[in-house]
Chains A and B, each alone.
Chain A
Amino acid sequence: MADAPTAGSDEGTVDAFLEGGTSLRHAPGPYFGAYGGRWMPESLIAALDELEDTFEKAKADPEFIAQIADLNKNYSGRPSLLTEAKRFAEHAGGVRIFLKREDLNHTGSHKINNVLGQALLAKRMGKTRVIAETGAGQHGVASATAAALLGLECVVYMGAEDCRRQALNVARMELLGATVIPVTNGSQTLKDAINEALRDWVANVGNTHYLLGTAAGAHPFPALVRYFHEVIGEEARAQILEQAGRLPDAVCACIGGGSNAIGIFHGFLDDPSVKIYGFEAGGDGVETGRHAATITLGRPGVLHGARSYLMQDDDGQTIESHSISAGLDYPGVGPEHSYLADIGRVSYEPITDSEAMEAFKLLCRTEGIIPAIESSHALAGAIKVGQRLAAEAGTAGASDKIVVVNLSGRGDKDVATAAEWFDLLDKDSAEAVIGKEGEQL
């Protein structure tokens, strides 16, 4: 089993997806078909070049590979488990469902994979300060963690609305020594936090690395962030082969910017028998306009450094996204996902808040695992995929079908939101006040 992101190490064992032997697994950027690139101010191009150069050299440096492998194993707790969810699967047409347990990583989500890698790159570049944006707070917490571990100053930009929704994560970041700056511009969510982080980066690029948290942004970020998450897919593929004796029929992940998804997809992109699904945040329902289903309903445009699908109006102004999940509440998406959608390799579908919360509750009750609300979108999607597979295979054949779901994070951070959703809180309790009135801890 791979315990390091050893890109390319198992190319001989998988079939190339495209005719002619072109692999989809290691697209280097800057372009993914018509997407990607560098739609960025000139002021930042030198820093992007420096990052690209440092990254390319690090990938070829056995010492760097060993550092990542050591941190993944002895700090994050990798490899993360692949757990069969038998009772949950009864609600998905009776297919077999396996959960890739990124929720068990240190800091509670896949985000740690990327931040450790990027923080090491920051050190290699001689930078002493990292800045990050965060939606749910998972990437902010992970960034603060990596910064504490490696002795870097850390500043996290977080939308003021998200600070309210994720007050405990703000406290966690501060406990870890980071400075959290609430962003009050625009929609006060993830996209505005990215804008503010970019403004900081332009002004402080000499000593500062922008530790971007998702597989989006200007080149080399999409390929670089994917690289550090490839370990998810490589582990998952080896684990399912070991535990089930064959490749899955389908792989499911949730998509905001798309970093956990591209990480697990990476392992299976060149396996033509594996159907791949990305589940976007459908919010109140795509017909309501209040959603974050970027690929499903967006149009290509440029935002935050890359050309990709984008939620925008007829004037090219970014439309504010809506989702119960702060981590998916983003009107853009990583450029590699736009490409994979266009060529038909990955199917992207929306999951509403209600569907996600039902799946959240179901996993709690059937498996004793509280998932992140982000990951609950993938779980809800897996139920649909499982039911479709079962319908095709018939009752007798359903139990031979296998679905792997990336459980990208744990739901401890979401307990207040979930308790409010399911009306579990006494209305006078402190938690209810936090949930409803936005009081920060």
Chain B
Amino acid sequence: MTTADITSKSAIAIDKARAEGRAALIGYLPAGYPSVEETIAAGIALARNGADLIEVGIPYSDPVMDGPVIQAATTEALAKGFSVRQVFDVVAGITSQTDAAVLVMTYWNPVVRMGVDEFSRRLAEAGGAGLITPDLIPDEAAEWMDASEKYGLDRVFLVAPSSTPERMRRTVDASRGFVYAVSIMGVTGARSSVSSAAEDVVAAAKAAGAERVCVGLGVSTAEQVAEIAAYADGVIVGSALVAAVRDGGVDAVAQLTKDLCTGLTRK
């Protein structure tokens, strides 16, 4: 990880969990689903019930890494008129009420459209921790490297079971805050079991020098959280929380978060 002089909000949140002898919980919510206000309320519920970091997703027209649950939610948000700048309202709404580190997860074109520098400035202004970029690899990230340095934002790139040791190193070197380990070759969505590939990806990322590695994709239950917490620094839950928002609103998010947290403590 580069530039030790910039304080990483994500790293602080993960290290706090580590000091408590547990993995960090990272929860994903799509902005504007079912409304901007409810996303903020759900984010606050996530944080107050035990999530250490929150990923706010920007609904996008072509979400190639997302499975049906998140696709349906983001499509609905777009149909209701969600606009990208509202993501900063969501971030500010959550960071003003909680201590959670709030990252934005976004496909790259909406950032390009607004301008990488402008987007970064507004994200920092809203109190955001940084960006998770599912379709941006370090090879194409020159502009984002500059902007994230300028505004002190975390750069969370993804590593996958298919990443070679060389790419693993390059991605780890380019990241700040943590590295997002994709547990499985596939798209987002709950799965009945966590792939055994996940532990190998974490080990490879650590071998490449990563200080903090969090695992996502397919995690939906406290049992799966516990399994991953044994070897990773953080556990990322997405589709299961989106389904909770869909089926039971903010209360369901709070309940699921509490439940997921029972898996965080390392045995």
A residues in contact (CB < 8 Å) with B: 37-47, 49, 185-186, 191-192, 195, 198-199, 202-206, 300-304, 310, 312, 314-318
Contacts and interface: CB of A to CB of B under 8 A. Distances in A.
Most buried by A among B63, B64, B159, B186: B64
B108 A45 contact: no
State which size class the interface on B falls in.
35 or more
B186 A202 contact: yes
Interface stretch (B12-20, B89-97, B162-170, B225-233): B162-170
B114 A42 contact: no
Interface string B98-134: 0000000000111111100000000000000000001
B84 to A, nearest CB: 4
Interface of B: 60-65, 67, 71, 75, 78, 83-84, 108-114, 134-137, 139-140, 157-164, 167, 171, 182, 185-187
A316 B182 contact: no
Most buried by A among B71, B83, B109: B109
B158 A302 contact: no
Contact of B185 (A45, A205, A302): A205
B129 to A, nearest CB: 21
5 contacts: A41-B158, A42-B167, A43-B158, A302-B112, A315-B114
Contacts of B110: 315-317
A204 B185 CA distance: 7
Secondary structure call for the B interface: loop
Contact of A317 (B61, B137, B160, B185): B61
A301 B162 contact: no
Contacts of B135: 39-41, 302
A45 B62 contact: no
A203 B188 CA distance: 11
Nearest to B65: A41
Nearest to A191: B62
A123 B88 CA distance: 48
Contacts of B112: 300-302, 316
B62 A43 contact: no
Contact of B137 (A45, A199, A315): A45
Which 6 residue pairs across A and B have the least CB separation, nearest first?
A316-B113, A316-B110, A43-B160, A46-B162, A203-B186, A316-B109
Nearest to B71: A185
A368 to B, nearest CB: 42
Contacts of B137: 38-40, 42, 45
Contacts of B185: 43, 202-206
Given A186-B61, A195-B63, A303-B62, A42 B160 contact: yes
A50 to B, nearest CB: 10
A185 B79 CA distance: 13
A283 B261 CA distance: 53
Given A46-B167, A302-B112, A315-B83, 6 more contacts: A186-B75, A191-B62, A203-B185, A302-B135, A303-B62, A318-B109
Nearest to B180: A42
Contacts of A186: 61-62, 75
Given A38-B139, A42-B158, A43-B185, A303 B109 contact: yes
Secondary structure call for the A interface: mixed
B214 to A, nearest CB: 15
Given A42-B157, A302-B112, A318 B134 contact: no
Contacts of A49: 164
A205 B162 contact: yes
A199 B161 CA distance: 16
Contact of A314 (B111, B113, B157, B171): B113
A192 B64 CA distance: 9
Contacts of B163: 42, 45-46
A195 B113 contact: no
Given A42-B137, A317-B60, A310 B109 contact: yes
Contact of B64 (A37, A42, A195, A312): A195
Contacts of A204: 185
Given A42-B158, A45-B137, A304-B62, A316 B186 contact: no
Contacts of B160: 41-43, 46
Given A195-B63, A301-B112, A316-B110, A39 B83 contact: no
Contact of B182 (A40, A42, A318): A42
A40 B134 CA distance: 8
Nearest to B160: A43
A195 B171 contact: no
Most buried by B among A49, A302, A314: A302
Contacts of B139: 37-38
Most buried by B among A198, A206, A317: A317
B124 to A, nearest CB: 20
Contacts of B108: 39, 302
Given A195-B63, A195-B64, A203-B187, A42 B111 contact: no
B113 A41 contact: no
A171 to B, nearest CB: 28
Given A45-B167, A203-B185, A317-B78, A301 B62 contact: no
Given A41-B134, A43-B160, A316 B62 contact: no
A199 B217 CA distance: 13
Contacts of A205: 162, 185
Nearest to B171: A42
A47 B62 contact: no
